Amino acid sequence: MMLRTRHRASQASVAAPTASAFTPDAVSVGARHLEVGGEWVASFAIVGYPREVHPGWLQPLLTYPGRLDVSLHIEPIDPATAATRLKRQLAKLESGRRHTAEHGRLADPHVEAATEDAYDLSARIARGEGKLFRLGLYLTIHAPSQEALADEVAAIRSLAASLLLDAKHTTYRSLQGWVSTLPMGLDVVGMRRTFDTSALSAAFPFTSPDLPPTDPTSVAAPSGVLYGYNAQSQGLVHWDRFALDNHNSVVLGRSGAGKSYLVKLELLRSLYRGIEIYVVDPEDEYARLAAAVGGTYVHLGAAGVRLNPFDLPITLGPDGRRTAPKDALIRRSLFLHTVISVLIGAEPGAAERAALDRAIAATYHRVGITADARTWSRPAPILGDLRDTLADAGNSGDAAAGELAARLHPYVDGAFKHLFDGPTTTRPDGHLVVFSLRDLPDELKAIGTLLTLDAVWRRVSNPAIRRPRLVVVDEAWLLMQQHAGAQFLFRMAKASRKHWAGLTVATQDTADVLGSDLGKAVVANAATQILLRQASQAMDEITRTFDLSAGERQFLLSAERGQGLLSAGTQRVAFQSIASPTEHYLVTSDPAELADYAADADLTDPGADGSYLDLGALAEDNALIEGDEFGPGEVQLDLDA
């Protein structure tokens, strides 16, 4: 038998169209289901509960991959009534136990457990340690059709059974069950169960301890990168940075908290997804990882390793043809002004800038590179060619040019010439490119940083190849000491989203980063923020910046290595990073472990046992390349010119 009711617009509803917007056009009431508008719904009342519950015990209901309405109705019981009911219940239980013992019967374990719980609850209430509440828990599942509803009902009953919850259909009370789960505070079913304070509080806050999926209705496997397991629910923490409005991330933690370990894990697992990655490594920690996955390793400061600042931004497109922006030569000339300013340690005057501009154009012209794009594939000049051009102009009476030529002497013929005395030796191409800056002399740190960041930005901003990219800056506080480095981080944080790229900034000097305007801008433009163990001296500033609760503050002060707090907007989750033995070998920087690995012949020669990872081919196979042959404002180079 089915009762069908139809909503008719009355005079009141016409006068208040807002209220009618939330009222379905029609409701079909069946014995165990409703048809509300175009949806089919079924409601359940929970009549059986587990003996013990833990914090977040309702979490599996909240993360169900479908539209499930969960409603809790709570009514406090005054202490006098609670004491009377407990006394009556204890009398019944004790009477049953004595009757069983007098007749020589075996004790019922359920009665024994209930009696112990009742005594414990009575004692806690008498001491004022808790109160009693009446709780009604109702579920309503939605589906687009009757067949889909049957599948959803079976899934919900199985889920409830796995939680030791006894879910019963609100048979012949389906309308009342649906109304009880609407946000109106009405419990018209009235199937309640007595809970104490501790059991009830375990259900609050009424939110999931896990991060919500990007698409809550999808039952597919979570996308993104595995960061570790949830410290509260023991579930896995997956997070996809490229599904957010921006793809930036900051990792803050004191020394030894596991920042570099976590960043390397994310890097390695991102390579599985075909993401192209560039690493600025001031401490030379990524060399083993780059070698293991077939990446490109640019060790600035080593003999014979150079990045020529005169190279034009020419890149290979998806079809293998070389492309470049139409104003590539002009942009490179402007960048060379910045290079010379960093080298001489001061901003050139007006006369020096004019002389430098003429010399740059003449230097390119001497090697056959002109405004004609067909000449841009020819070998680029080097810094020595520019110095010679300036010296010739100085000999012709241009005093400003002569002064600049003299100030460039240390970088052409002096102690620092090894970084500029030839063309670029290593092309920063590939699925993983690591730039090591540790061995650069202090006098070359600024220019080395500038050349590295220029090479990274040229790759990231290249519109000819469209694929997701990550730029990892480890120990960013070292980079931010250089003005060019701080400006690069700020530029990347603002503009990387437009180029389908994400910036990862990891640093242990949290106070210095949060104490500068550029550092705060980088943090503010990161949709993913990861906080590891923090020093107590910096905790006040971090608490204010990230609006931490007292519990989150204490967690970060006492967190173990690898434990952290992942924050994405209003969602936060505490996690513990995990790695497989192979991943751990590639990413660890513990000196004791590295010494053990070096002593083991099998591990010092990974190629012998096949432990090198062929991620280069994997990244190329999974690369997300799309778009036109040439991006906007690009030209094709004629290699025969």
| Tens-place pLDDT, residues 320-378 | 666 667 788 888 888 888 888 888 877 788 888 899 999 999 999 988 988 888 888 88
> Band of the pLDDT at 166, cuts 50, 70, 90?
very high
pLDDT value of residue 513: 72
Q: In the prediction, which pLDDT does 34 show?
A: 92
Range list for CATH 3.40.50.300 in the chain? 245-307+428-621
Where residue 626 falls among pLDDT bands split at 50, 70, 90?
very low
Q: Which span out of 283-297, 309-323, 458-472, 487-501 was modeled with the highest average pLDDT?
A: 283-297
Q: Are 387 and 412 in contact (CB under 8 A)?
A: yes
Q: Which helix (H) or strand (E) holds 452?
A: helix 442-460
The tokens describing 565, both together, are: 């707090």
Residue 466 DSSP class: B
**2 pLDDT more than 70:** no
C-beta of residue 387 within 8 angstroms of C-beta of residue 402: no
Nearest to 74 by CA among 196, 218, 226: 196
Mean pLDDT of 614-638: 39
Average pLDDT over residues 608-615: 41
Across the chain, mean pLDDT equals: 78
User: Are the beta carbons of 534 and 252 closer than 8 angstroms?
Assistant: yes
Would the pTM of this model clear 0.85, i.e. be above it? Answer: no
Q: Which of 106-115, 484-493, 625-634 has the lowest mean pLDDT?
A: 625-634
Which of 398, 198, 422 is closest to 310 using CA atoms?
Answer: 422
DSSP-derived pairing of the beta strands 563-568 and 634-636: unpaired
Instruction: CATH 1.10.8.730 in the chain: give the residue spans.
Output: 308-423
Q: What is the pLDDT of residue 45?
A: 94
Average pLDDT value for residue range 114-133: 72
**All residues at 6 or more sequence positions from 486 whose CB lies less than 8 Å from its CB, including other chains:** 479, 480, 516, 518, 519
Residue 532 has φ and ψ, to the nearest 5°, of -100, -170
Q: Per-residue pLDDT for 154 more than 70?
A: yes
Q: Which residues does 47 contact at the CB level (< 8 Å), separation at least 6? A: 166, 167, 168, 191, 193
Amino acid letter, residue 66: G
Q: What is the CA angle 250-498-448, rounded to 5? A: 60
* Angle value at C-alpha 565, between 215 and 576, nearest 5 degrees: 90
Q: Does the pLDDT value for residue 24 go beyond 60?
A: yes
Phi, psi of 559 (to 5 degrees): -65, 145
**Quick one: CATH architecture of 245-307+428-621?**
3-Layer(aba) Sandwich (3.40)
Q: Determine the Cα–Cα distance for residues 303 and 399; give it in Å rounded to an integer.
A: 35
Mean of pLDDT values over 438-451: 84
Q: Which residues contact 227 (CB under 8 A, 6 or more apart)?
A: 237, 238, 239, 262, 265, 266, 566, 575, 577
Lowest-pLDDT range, 66-75, 233-242, 285-294, 473-482? 473-482
| Whether 124 contacts 130, CB under 8 Å | yes
Three-state secondary structure call for residue 277: strand
Q: What is the mean pLDDT of residues 27-39?
A: 89
Output DSSP code: residue 433: E
Alpha-carbon span 621 to 624, nearest angstrom: 9
pLDDT in tens, 526-562: 888 899 988 888 888 888 888 888 888 888 888 888 8
- Say which residues have a Cβ less than 8 Å from residue 141's Cβ, sequence separation at least 6: 41, 42, 43, 44, 66, 67, 68, 69, 149, 152, 153, 156
The fold of 308-423 is: Helicase, Ruva Protein; domain 3 (1.10.8)
Rounded Cα–Cα distance for residues 621 and 601 (Å): 33
For tokens 């790695």, the residue is: 579
In angstroms, the CA 218 to CA 215 distance is: 6
pLDDT in tens, 171-203: 999 999 999 999 888 999 989 888 877 788 887
Enumerate residues 6+ apart whose C-beta is below 8 A from 414. none
Q: Is the model's pLDDT at 400 over the cut of 50?
A: yes
45-74 pLDDT, tens digit each: 999 888 777 777 887 887 787 888 999 999
> What end-to-end distance do the CA atoms of the chain give, in Å?
86
In the three-class reduction of DSSP (H, G, I as helix; E, B as strand; rest coil), residue 237 is classed as strand
* Residue 139 region by backbone torsions, left for phi larger than 0, else alpha for psi between -120 and 50, else beta: beta
**58 token code pair:** 């309702």
When mean pLDDT is compared across 110-124, 143-157, 569-583, the lowest value belongs to 110-124
pLDDT band at 612 (very low <50, low <70, confident <90, very high): very low
DSSP letter at 32 equals S
Residue pair 623/274 in contact by the 8 Å Cβ criterion: yes
With cut-offs at 50, 70 and 90, classify the pLDDT of residue 103. confident
CA distance 237 to 229: 5
Bridge partners, residue 530, by sequence: 251, 566
pLDDT at 315: 65
* 240-288 pLDDT per residue, tens: 888 888 888 889 888 888 888 999 999 999 998 888 999 988 888 888 8
pLDDT at 317 over 90: no
Instruction: Measure the CA–CA gap between 540 and 507, rounded to whole angstroms.
Output: 17
Tokens of 151: 């599948």
